[in-house]
Amino acid sequence: MFKKKIILPVLTLAGVLSATVAKAVCPVCTIAVGTCVGLARWLKIDDRITGLWVGGLIVSLIIWTIDYLNKKNLNKSKNRIGLTSKILVVILYYAVVIVPLYFTGIMGHPFNKCWGLDKLLWGTIIGSIIFIIATLSHNYFKKRNSNKSYFPLQKVAFPVGLLAITSIIVYLIIR
Protein backbone atom coordinates (compact mmCIF):
# COMPACT_ATOMS: atom_id res chain seq x y z
CA MET A 1 0.00 0.00 0.00
CA PHE A 2 2.85 2.37 0.89
CA LYS A 3 4.52 1.72 -2.49
CA LYS A 4 1.34 2.66 -4.37
CA LYS A 5 1.10 5.97 -2.53
CA ILE A 6 4.71 6.82 -3.39
CA ILE A 7 4.86 5.68 -7.04
CA LEU A 8 2.32 8.13 -8.51
CA PRO A 9 3.81 11.30 -6.96
CA VAL A 10 7.34 10.20 -7.89
CA LEU A 11 6.32 9.51 -11.51
CA THR A 12 4.46 12.82 -11.68
CA LEU A 13 7.46 14.70 -10.32
CA ALA A 14 9.78 12.91 -12.76
CA GLY A 15 7.50 13.85 -15.66
CA VAL A 16 7.34 17.50 -14.60
CA LEU A 17 11.10 17.75 -14.11
CA SER A 18 11.90 16.11 -17.43
CA ALA A 19 9.41 18.16 -19.48
CA THR A 20 10.84 20.28 -22.27
CA VAL A 21 9.44 23.09 -24.38
CA ALA A 22 7.54 21.80 -27.40
CA LYS A 23 8.42 23.42 -30.71
CA ALA A 24 5.69 21.78 -32.74
CA VAL A 25 2.03 21.62 -31.88
CA CYS A 26 1.83 21.52 -28.10
CA PRO A 27 0.78 18.45 -26.09
CA VAL A 28 -2.25 20.23 -24.63
CA CYS A 29 -3.62 20.76 -28.14
CA THR A 30 -3.10 17.14 -29.12
CA ILE A 31 -4.71 15.88 -25.91
CA ALA A 32 -7.65 18.26 -26.40
CA VAL A 33 -8.21 17.07 -29.97
CA GLY A 34 -7.89 13.40 -28.95
CA THR A 35 -10.34 13.88 -26.10
CA CYS A 36 -12.85 15.54 -28.40
CA VAL A 37 -12.63 12.63 -30.85
CA GLY A 38 -13.45 10.12 -28.12
CA LEU A 39 -16.20 12.31 -26.72
CA ALA A 40 -17.79 12.82 -30.14
CA ARG A 41 -17.96 9.08 -30.82
CA TRP A 42 -19.35 8.40 -27.35
CA LEU A 43 -22.05 11.07 -27.76
CA LYS A 44 -22.98 9.68 -31.21
CA ILE A 45 -22.17 12.97 -32.92
CA ASP A 46 -22.36 12.98 -36.71
CA ASP A 47 -19.31 11.43 -38.36
CA ARG A 48 -18.55 14.60 -40.30
CA ILE A 49 -17.97 16.46 -37.05
CA THR A 50 -16.04 13.57 -35.51
CA GLY A 51 -13.95 13.43 -38.67
CA LEU A 52 -12.99 17.08 -38.26
CA TRP A 53 -11.35 16.23 -34.94
CA VAL A 54 -9.80 13.02 -36.30
CA GLY A 55 -8.19 15.05 -39.09
CA GLY A 56 -6.91 17.60 -36.58
CA LEU A 57 -5.46 14.87 -34.40
CA ILE A 58 -3.69 13.22 -37.33
CA VAL A 59 -2.12 16.50 -38.48
CA SER A 60 -1.05 17.27 -34.92
CA LEU A 61 0.65 13.90 -34.63
CA ILE A 62 2.31 14.35 -38.04
CA ILE A 63 3.73 17.72 -36.98
CA TRP A 64 4.96 16.24 -33.70
CA THR A 65 6.62 13.31 -35.46
CA ILE A 66 8.36 15.44 -38.08
CA ASP A 67 9.58 17.81 -35.35
CA TYR A 68 10.85 14.84 -33.32
CA LEU A 69 12.68 13.40 -36.34
CA ASN A 70 14.22 16.80 -37.06
CA LYS A 71 15.47 16.97 -33.46
CA LYS A 72 16.99 13.51 -33.73
CA ASN A 73 18.79 14.68 -36.89
CA LEU A 74 18.42 11.35 -38.66
CA ASN A 75 19.88 12.77 -41.86
CA LYS A 76 23.39 13.69 -40.69
CA SER A 77 24.22 15.83 -43.73
CA LYS A 78 21.31 18.21 -43.08
CA ASN A 79 19.43 19.49 -40.05
CA ARG A 80 16.06 18.47 -41.44
CA ILE A 81 14.51 15.22 -42.59
CA GLY A 82 13.91 14.97 -46.31
CA LEU A 83 10.70 15.42 -48.24
CA THR A 84 10.45 11.67 -48.82
CA SER A 85 10.53 11.01 -45.08
CA LYS A 86 7.87 13.66 -44.46
CA ILE A 87 5.60 12.15 -47.12
CA LEU A 88 6.14 8.71 -45.60
CA VAL A 89 5.17 10.01 -42.13
CA VAL A 90 1.99 11.56 -43.56
CA ILE A 91 1.01 8.39 -45.43
CA LEU A 92 1.72 6.17 -42.42
CA TYR A 93 -0.36 8.25 -40.00
CA TYR A 94 -3.35 8.46 -42.32
CA ALA A 95 -3.08 4.73 -43.07
CA VAL A 96 -2.80 3.83 -39.38
CA VAL A 97 -6.05 5.69 -38.71
CA ILE A 98 -8.14 5.14 -41.85
CA VAL A 99 -7.37 1.48 -42.64
CA PRO A 100 -8.55 0.14 -39.25
CA LEU A 101 -11.66 2.34 -39.40
CA TYR A 102 -12.46 0.88 -42.80
CA PHE A 103 -11.88 -2.76 -41.84
CA THR A 104 -13.87 -2.47 -38.61
CA GLY A 105 -16.85 -1.10 -40.55
CA ILE A 106 -16.83 2.34 -38.96
CA MET A 107 -15.83 3.87 -42.28
CA GLY A 108 -17.11 2.81 -45.68
CA HIS A 109 -20.79 2.08 -44.99
CA PRO A 110 -22.82 2.78 -48.17
CA PHE A 111 -25.48 4.80 -46.27
CA ASN A 112 -22.94 6.96 -44.45
CA LYS A 113 -21.98 9.22 -47.36
CA CYS A 114 -21.71 12.95 -47.94
CA TRP A 115 -21.22 14.09 -51.54
CA GLY A 116 -20.18 10.55 -52.51
CA LEU A 117 -17.52 10.35 -49.80
CA ASP A 118 -17.73 8.61 -46.44
CA LYS A 119 -18.79 11.14 -43.78
CA LEU A 120 -15.89 10.30 -41.47
CA LEU A 121 -13.38 10.53 -44.33
CA TRP A 122 -14.95 13.82 -45.48
CA GLY A 123 -14.61 15.23 -41.97
CA THR A 124 -11.05 13.96 -41.68
CA ILE A 125 -10.02 15.73 -44.88
CA ILE A 126 -11.70 19.01 -43.90
CA GLY A 127 -10.37 18.77 -40.32
CA SER A 128 -6.84 18.22 -41.60
CA ILE A 129 -7.08 21.30 -43.80
CA ILE A 130 -8.56 23.39 -40.97
CA PHE A 131 -5.84 22.29 -38.53
CA ILE A 132 -3.10 23.15 -41.04
CA ILE A 133 -4.67 26.58 -41.66
CA ALA A 134 -4.91 27.21 -37.90
CA THR A 135 -1.29 26.19 -37.30
CA LEU A 136 -0.06 28.36 -40.18
CA SER A 137 -2.16 31.26 -38.85
CA HIS A 138 -0.62 30.89 -35.39
CA ASN A 139 2.87 30.89 -36.90
CA TYR A 140 2.04 33.95 -39.04
CA PHE A 141 0.69 35.99 -36.12
CA LYS A 142 3.55 34.92 -33.89
CA LYS A 143 6.07 35.99 -36.51
CA ARG A 144 4.34 39.39 -36.86
CA ASN A 145 4.68 39.90 -33.09
CA SER A 146 8.47 39.48 -32.81
CA ASN A 147 8.16 35.70 -32.53
CA LYS A 148 5.90 35.96 -29.45
CA SER A 149 2.32 34.85 -29.06
CA TYR A 150 -0.30 37.56 -28.63
CA PHE A 151 -1.87 35.74 -25.69
CA PRO A 152 -1.11 32.72 -23.50
CA LEU A 153 -1.91 29.37 -25.10
CA GLN A 154 -2.36 30.93 -28.55
CA LYS A 155 -0.79 27.81 -30.01
CA VAL A 156 -3.66 25.79 -28.50
CA ALA A 157 -6.44 28.30 -29.09
CA PHE A 158 -5.95 28.65 -32.83
CA PRO A 159 -6.28 24.98 -33.87
CA VAL A 160 -8.79 23.92 -31.23
CA GLY A 161 -10.83 27.10 -31.66
CA LEU A 162 -10.96 26.85 -35.43
CA LEU A 163 -11.91 23.16 -35.24
CA ALA A 164 -14.65 24.04 -32.73
CA ILE A 165 -16.01 26.84 -34.94
CA THR A 166 -15.95 24.54 -37.97
CA SER A 167 -17.74 21.85 -35.96
CA ILE A 168 -20.50 24.32 -35.06
CA ILE A 169 -20.85 25.42 -38.68
CA VAL A 170 -21.03 21.82 -39.92
CA TYR A 171 -23.57 20.99 -37.20
CA LEU A 172 -25.79 23.93 -38.16
CA ILE A 173 -25.62 22.97 -41.85
CA ILE A 174 -26.52 19.28 -41.31
CA ARG A 175 -29.43 19.87 -38.94
Tell me the longest C-alpha to C-alpha distance in the chain: 59
Domain boundaries, the chain: 48-174
Cα separation, 156 vs 160, in Å, equals: 6
Select from 86, 95, 91, 34 the least CA-distant residue to 65.
86
Cα separation, 163 vs 128, in Å, equals: 10
pTM beyond cutoff 0.85: no
> What string of pLDDT tens digits covers the 175 residues of the chain?
455 455 544 544 444 444 444 444 556 666 666 676 667 778 888 889 989 988 998 999 899 888 888 887 665 556 667 888 889 999 999 998 888 888 888 788 888 888 889 998 999 999 999 999 999 999 999 999 998 988 888 888 999 999 999 999 998 988 7
- Helix ranges (DSSP H) in the chain: 2-18, 27-42, 47-72, 83-103, 119-144, 154-174
DSSP for 94-128, please give it.
Answer: HHHHHHHHHHTTSS--TTSEETTEEHHHHHHHHHH
Q: What residues form DSSP beta bridges with 95? A: none
